Amino acid sequence: MTRSSETTELVREHFQKKAFSFDRLYDEEHPLQRVLRPGLARRMELAVSVVRKYENPRVLDVGCGSGRVGEAVLEAGTGEYVGLDFSRPMLDIAQERLRRFEPRVTLIEGDFLDEPLEAPFDVVIGLGLFDYVAEPHVFARRMYELCTDGGSVVGSFPKWSLLKGPIRKLRYEVMHNCPIFNYTERQLRSLFGASGFRTVEVLRLRQGGFFVRAVR
């Protein structure tokens, strides 16, 4: 088994078990979550702002999870939304959450690198995805291939910090056997530039990490 496939299996197992608790992290109505995790709301706002730049866009949400991001971009005017995730429990939550937007919604259980997808998409979203990806260049390249000319890929990327880094490593890798990865701004510019995108915008999030918009 390759490092990438081993990582995928460990991450899949983690999110099969933690679907409900992960979904709660995005509960904006819970005041404690807004205080402890303001970065989650901020990166979602940035993704929605990109979606709004397109008229009735076709949106692919890679690692869509429980549909929190999908709900936000559908409310922002997405014409067609395709959510992809390899965790069935996550997709079950997403199906209930996004039912009111049918028939604009398609949810797919599968692996992003293997699943046949009907391209192109105006916006490809990867929020909270690259934290768990062992070979990000492979993901970035496929996102490029699925994007329409002038389309955008948006993603969030954690960075190592002396405060949060050891805590995240303990929580995910030691306690739950779920690999996680960190990035630098230089790595991100190189990653998306090498994948073929003509412009790469990297924003530093005040709460830590990066938000990237790459335009094909």
Domain boundaries, the chain: 3-215
Report strand pairing: 58-62 vs 121-126.
parallel
Q: What is the pLDDT of residues 140-179, one digit of tens each?
A: 999 999 999 999 999 999 997 766 756 666 666 566 677 7
Rounded mean pLDDT, 106-112: 97
pLDDT given for residue 145 in this prediction: 98
pLDDT given for residue 200 in this prediction: 98
Q: What's the chain's Rg over C-alpha atoms?
A: 16
Q: Which fold is adopted by the domain 3-215?
A: Rossmann fold (3.40.50)
Residue carrying structure tokens 């069935």: 88
> pLDDT band for position 7 (50/70/90)?
low
